[in-house]
Chain A
Amino acid sequence: MIELAHISKRFGAVAALDDVSLRIEPGERLALIGENGAGKSSLMNVLYGLYHPDAGEVRFDGRPVKVRTPAEALARGVGMVHQHFTLVPTLTVAENVVLGAEPSRGGLLDLDAAVAQVQASCRRFGFSVDARARVDSLTVGSQQKVEIVKALHRGVKTLILDEPTAVLTPQEADELFSVTRALSESGLAVVLISHKLKEVLAFATRLAVMRRGRKVAEVAPKDTTAEALAALMVGEGNASDSPLPGPLPAGRGEVVLRAERLAADKLHDVSFSLHAGEVLGIAGVDGNGQRELAEVLTGLRAFTGTLELFGRRCAALSPGEARGLGVAHVPEDRLRRAVVADMTVEENVALGRHGAPPFAKGPLIDFAGRRARTAQLLDAHDVRPRDGTLRVGALSGGNQQKLVVARELDAQPKVLVVVQPTRGLDIAAVAAVRARIHDERARGCAVLLVSLDLDEVLALSDRVLVFFEGRVTAELDRAAFDERLIGRRMLGVADA
């Protein structure tokens, strides 16, 4: 049994954890829920030896222990799978799993033994992964399995999963939960960090709710509801589990974007048109060409076929030209594509628009104009903290995303390409981002929404294109939305 007793941890002036106590029993499935920045990950990072608490102690079977490094945590049977994987992409599954405890023969790595060991582990724990496959050839879901196998292979007795389903398809998430449920029934303690209420209610045996660095409640799933949990997480009585905007009014404008036989890499022969004032959702399992489509439309990827923007045929499109024509982009990977983490909030607000007022005066940067516009945007979009001089890397993920959305919408785009806009965000941030998309649509902006969250696509879209292997396998209007049909088409299954 693991006890975290009166743990406190401060980062500068911010109390990430404030006198939090938590017990983890063998064989239980404990869900740690709360908004972004509530302290869930921080608490588990303390247990995993990544953070050192300012006060309080960690006890293993009643004995206080200082966990200084993840290696010490692993030695005590605690493993953690982060949102960002820690695999070496060019090594095989087996090599990754045994890394740090490689079987050797005569001083040389015994690869065959490694493969055999890993295959045995996979079988024992119920995972189907090819031990000889290179990690970079695997899907995100499989890579996550490798992370879990890696932890279990070390004989971990407590497994922490940090928002594991954020990157998974619904099927993969189901598989993950059934496997981990089986593992917990054979004695493994599982700690699930999440803010998806549906999944924690279905999966966990116990729930701990965190808010602003404190544990505010501990309940059994059968004694609570999604609404009650949401209220605890947000701290007010008015939050709901599905903060989706209401039904969409009908009424779309002229065609602003037309694609014909568009092809690029994983994208094959896709034709569609996008109207002003509509949200066109792209549904599909990860890796079926949606990402490539978004990149083509925003000028980030070369293509073949015909692309017409506002009636103008674009033989090729650069990111600058796309922006110039009024295409805004909220990309999937904000740290890679949307922000420069080592620049300030103000500098990032200007990014992409730095050439024109209020961000520039002739060839010079207009510092006053930039500061004023930034302050205005931080207020309007509730980006916290309201400090334009901070490095963007110092903001939480949710606030980074709000900043990106704020910037992209501030340009008053005619076409908005959003990819996974709410991934990893808390309930309040999700609601804010979805409401913004809805507002843009009402303003007459054409929105192309790519999301792996089918509920999100269905809730926000007027029309849905289903992608499978880079082709459109179904096109449905809102009136004809049929989750089961879409699910089949996402998997390329013909109708029975």
Chain B
Amino acid sequence: MREALRRALPSVLAIVASLAACFVAVGLTRGFGTAVDAFAAMLWGAFGDWPRFFDDGGSGAVLRPLGEAGTKAALLTFTGLSVAVAFRVGLFNIGAQGQLMVGAVVAAVVGAQVELPGVLHVAVCLGTAAAAGALYALGPALLKRHRGVHEVISTIMLNWVAVSLVENWLVVGPLRASASGDNSISGTAQVHPSAELPRLLGDTSRLNLGFVLALVAAAVTWWFLARLKRGYEWRAVGLNPEAARAAGIDVGRSVVHAMCLAGAFAGLAGAVLVLGTELKYPATLGAPYGFDGIAMALIGGGHPLGVLGSALFFGGLRAGGTRMQLFGVHKSFPELIQGLALLLVAARYVWDRLLARLAKKEAARA
């Protein structure tokens, strides 16, 4: 436990430091009164407006922000896991965005074009989306295994292929919904109600089953990596592929499997986005959750539960960030905070030095 806290400390410090930096930036440009108001609004918007809840007892004041935070966190968790799982075998999956798009469009098609009874429909949509994401990651994995092609290059390029294929062609071409009445429709056809992910809080919030799935996915991934033989093999491959090979572990197979799991997670993120909130593949996907996954994985230290933690936190900030606009502060501040935190985590060396010095001082005092 202590060890886990010690490992999480640099990430926590990075987040605190970037929050402080942004606070100062807002304070200097808009005045510190506004900064306090804006940050309070963000906080209430992220983790529930507790003061108002205690004032008038309306549970919506708490549930609505929390629901929105959970909805965003679910997506960040899936893409974060996607990147983190690949990290574990020593690969950098920059292709989560592309895999997410492919998963999303498959979920939209299966959700809208196939008719199945309730539970089954959701399961089939999720399954096909995960399979599509995995298949989309399989190419780079095989190229890596057999030809030594660097996965960073191949997955980045496949991101662009996904943009062209899905958003520039399928969604505006063959899969475009036919206009009904005089509504001009963008994106694909609406999915059937049977394919929608059930909402957890009724009409109060968009929070849906995807959030539960994300929690389960993070827990299962942790369990797999920490408790299973195969997870142990993956970790050994990531930490020292040559020693893993000499120990008889099939390094190539581990790489391919891990990459496919990474793709499946990203594909699931796409499915959760489509089946949970958008209910179709929209004209454009909006936030680049696939790339945010890189930030979640790094800030989460590559650990599934760390990923979950940072996804919950930044999901909250994203949800609350929109409320900063009420005070004239741009809503992209949460992303700025995330970017700064990522930068600081990447500069881990700084933290390690600082922590070492603090530990020394403490030891000297003791």
Interface residues of A (CB under 8 A from B): 298-300, 318-324, 329, 331, 336-343, 347, 350-352, 354-355, 360, 363-365
Contacts and interface: CB of A to CB of B under 8 A. Distances in A.
A155 B242 CA distance: 40
B250 A351 contact: no
A336 B229 CA distance: 22
B248 A339 contact: no
Nearest to A12: B363
B227 interface: yes
A202 B131 CA distance: 69
Contacts of A323: 247-248
B150 interface: no
B244 A365 contact: no
Interface residues of B, number: 19
B219 to A, nearest CB: 16
A-B pairs with lowest CB-CB distance, top 3: A320-B248, A352-B247, A340-B240
B229 to A, nearest CB: 5
A320 B228 contact: no
A374 to B, nearest CB: 14
A365 B228 contact: yes
B243 A337 contact: yes
A339 B249 CA distance: 13
A327 to B, nearest CB: 10
Nearest to B230: A363
Nearest to A407: B247
B242 A337 contact: yes
A339 B246 CA distance: 10
Contacts of A355: 229
Contacts of B233: 354
B24 interface: no
A142 to B, nearest CB: 25
B249 A336 contact: no
A337 B250 CA distance: 14
Given A320-B248, A320-B249, A340-B236, A354 B229 contact: yes
B233 to A, nearest CB: 7
A256 B235 CA distance: 34
Nearest to A322: B248
A298 B246 contact: yes
Interface in B215-240: 227-230, 232-233, 235-236, 239-240
A379 B239 CA distance: 27
B236 A351 contact: yes
Contact of B248 (A319, A331, A336): A319
Contact of A336 (B227, B230, B240, B250): B240
A424 to B, nearest CB: 18
Nearest to B237: A340
A70 to B, nearest CB: 18
A343 B139 CA distance: 30
Given A340-B240, A342-B239, A365-B227, A319 B246 contact: yes
Given A354-B229, A364-B228, A364-B229, A300 B245 contact: yes
Given A341-B240, A354-B247, 12 more contacts: A299-B248, A300-B245, A322-B248, A336-B240, A341-B239, A351-B236, A354-B229, A355-B229, A360-B229, A364-B229, A365-B227, A365-B229
Contacts of B245: 300, 319
B57 to A, nearest CB: 48
B250 to A, nearest CB: 7
Contact of A350 (B232, B242, B243): B232
A351 B229 contact: no
Contact of A320 (B229, B239, B250): B250
Contacts of A319: 245-248
B243 A338 contact: yes
A336 B243 contact: yes
Contacts of A299: 248
Contacts of B250: 320
Nearest to B245: A319
Contacts of B242: 336-337
B211 to A, nearest CB: 28
11 contacts: A300-B245, A337-B242, A338-B243, A338-B246, A339-B243, A340-B240, A350-B232, A352-B247, A355-B229, A363-B229, A365-B229
A363 B229 CA distance: 6
A384 B206 CA distance: 57
Contacts of A350: 232
B239 A352 contact: no
A331 B246 contact: yes
B246 A337 contact: yes
A351 B230 contact: no
Given A336-B242, A342-B239, A343-B239, A351 B227 contact: no
Contacts of A338: 243, 246
A336 B242 CA distance: 6
Contacts of A352: 246-249
Contacts of B230: 363
A319 to B, nearest CB: 5
A151 B227 CA distance: 49
A72 B276 CA distance: 62
Nearest to A355: B229
A302 to B, nearest CB: 13
A317 to B, nearest CB: 11
Nearest to B244: A340
Contacts of B239: 340-343
A334 to B, nearest CB: 9
Contacts of B228: 363-365
Contacts of A354: 229, 232-233, 247
A341 B236 CA distance: 10
Interface string B240-281: 101111111110000000000000000000000000000000
A300 B247 CA distance: 10
Contacts of A339: 240, 243
B315 to A, nearest CB: 30
A176 to B, nearest CB: 30
A74 B83 CA distance: 44
Contacts of B232: 347, 350, 354, 365
Nearest to A366: B229
A338 B236 CA distance: 11
A362 to B, nearest CB: 9
Contact of B243 (A298, A320, A340): A340
A342 B228 CA distance: 18
A405 B90 CA distance: 27
B235 A343 contact: yes
A341 B242 CA distance: 12
A342 B235 CA distance: 10
Contacts of A331: 246
B247 A364 contact: no
